[in-house]
Structure 1
Amino acid sequence: MDDLIRNHREQQRVKGTKSELDLHPVVKLFVPWGAATFLISECDPDGLAFGLADLGFGSPELGYISLDELAELRGPGGLTVEQDLHFKAEKPLSQYSEEARRLGRIQA
């Protein structure tokens, strides 16, 4: 979480300018009972994150995501949203986003 908050603070200094940062995702979250995937690049201290969300309907999009709401999700048998512990970003979020729009899903 420290990297996400640090990214948020760095981004806040340049948000709305030509110097906005194109950050690499730090965390990949997924729902083991479905096709939803989230690549998160930054998060404020209150749990409002920014990243690429793919709910599995073929239209991934960039936006804000409440980590508290994701933590409340429950699937069959009480399954919860999980973190891909082996994920390591190879490119900035904008490149994942462009690729996801072209493919209709996040490939990470």
Structure 2
Amino acid sequence: MAGKETEMQELMPKEVAATVPPLYATEDEGDPIARVKLFSSVSAWTWYVTEYDPATGEAFGLVEGFADEWGYFSIPEMEAVNRSRGFNVVERDVLFEPVPVSEARR
């Protein structure tokens, strides 16, 4: 489908990525700031990004899914899922304002 990929939302545009600390920068913080909120439009999963490496696309943060846990996840893999499905399975909440993770949780 020509042109379909251009309709996909960029999950971590450069201006957003620039606001997120690098990997391991917040590991000693008890309640780091959730800088970006990603969510699935087809499941109840949510990812709160607290750290990000723009070179690899690897992110770290709180994942609310089957269980709530801290972990690493790949932004390029999420964007690949979106392209393979032809719609934004994972989206960035463009209205989300950075807050401590404890305040962002469900």
TM-score clears 0.5: yes
Change beyond 3 A, Cα 1:10–1:65: closer
Deviations 1:60-100 (A, max 9, x none): 1101111111111249x622211101111332x3x259xxx
Query: What RMSD over aligned residues (CA atoms) do the two structures have, in Å?
Result: 2.5
TM-score (norm 1): 0.66
1:11 alignment partner in structure 2: 25
Separation (CA, whole Å) in 2 of partners of 1:62 and 1:44: 16
Q: Does 1:79 align with 2:93?
A: no
Structure 1: runs of 5+ lacking an equivalent: 98-105
Q: Which amino acid aligns with 1:49?
A: A
1:2, CA displacement in angstroms? 0.5
**SS of alignment partner, residue 76 of structure 2:** helix
Amino acid aligned to 1:62: W
8 Å CA contact 2:52–2:60 kept in 1: the answer is yes
Of structures 1 and 2, the one scoring higher in RCO (CA 8 A, sep 6+) is 2
- Could you say which residue in structure 1 is the equivalent of 2:58? 48
Q: What is the deviation of 1:9?
A: 6.2
Q: As a proportion of its length, which structure holds more helix?
A: 1
- Normalization by structure 2: what TM-score? 0.67
Larger fraction in strand:
2
Query: Which residue in the other structure is 1:31 paired with?
Result: 40
